[in-house]
Amino acid sequence: MSEHAVAGTQTVPIQITLNGEPRSLSVSPVTTLLDLLRNHLDLTGTKKGCDHGQCGACTVLIDGQRFNSCLQLAVMQDGKAITTIEGLAQDGRLHPLQAAFIEHDAFQCGYCTPGQICSAVALIEEGRATSREEIREFMSGNLCRCGAYTNIVDAIEDVAVRRRQPLQEAAE
């Protein structure tokens, strides 16, 4: 018996790891990952913006890579690890990027912030955040209608630099 059945006449069983917790679900073949997260699992941090993969508000991490959840069918996630904004904080402590977004005032309305942060986590893990220009380029799939881009780049750069420093000091 599945932990949670998602609306639809026909369902498909899937196993995922969601924010570090194994989950058994039955999902309709037409349910997007975004709708599964928001409407059926009550993880509303992931936002529905354009619903066409153009704004990045729905960005989540799937096996550590960033994806627009509005373009992913939930059934395609069988066996995968999915991390949403709700899963980034550990042991009651904000993820360094969450803290940096607060410190650098990298949001105004906050609607795009969860997607921005998830995308930035992957960007730093990919090792591509080596300059402000690269950060801007590789974050270009995440739009901010409020125009907080300068502060967003500041926050990402701050975390990327702090992350690289111990590696550079160890090499010296």
Is 106 in the same domain as 82? no
Is 106 in the same domain as 53? no
CA distance 46 to 42: 10
| Tally of domains in the chain | 2
Going by their DSSP bridges, the two strands 59-62 and 65-68 should be labelled as antiparallel
Bigger pLDDT: 171 vs 90: 90
Within 8 A by CB and 6+ apart from 145, the residues are: 109, 111, 112
pLDDT digits (tens, 9 = 90+) for 113-150: 999 999 999 999 998 888 999 999 999 999 999 999 99
Helix (H) or strand (E) holding 27: strand 21-27
Per-residue model confidence (pLDDT) at position 30: 96
* Domain boundary residue, one of 57, 87, 117: 87
Which pTM was predicted? 0.89
Bigger pLDDT: 167 vs 106: 106
Mean pLDDT throughout 26-46?
97
Is 64 in the same domain as 20? yes
Per-residue model confidence (pLDDT) at position 163: 86
pLDDT beyond 60 at 8 = no
Per-residue model confidence (pLDDT) at position 61: 98
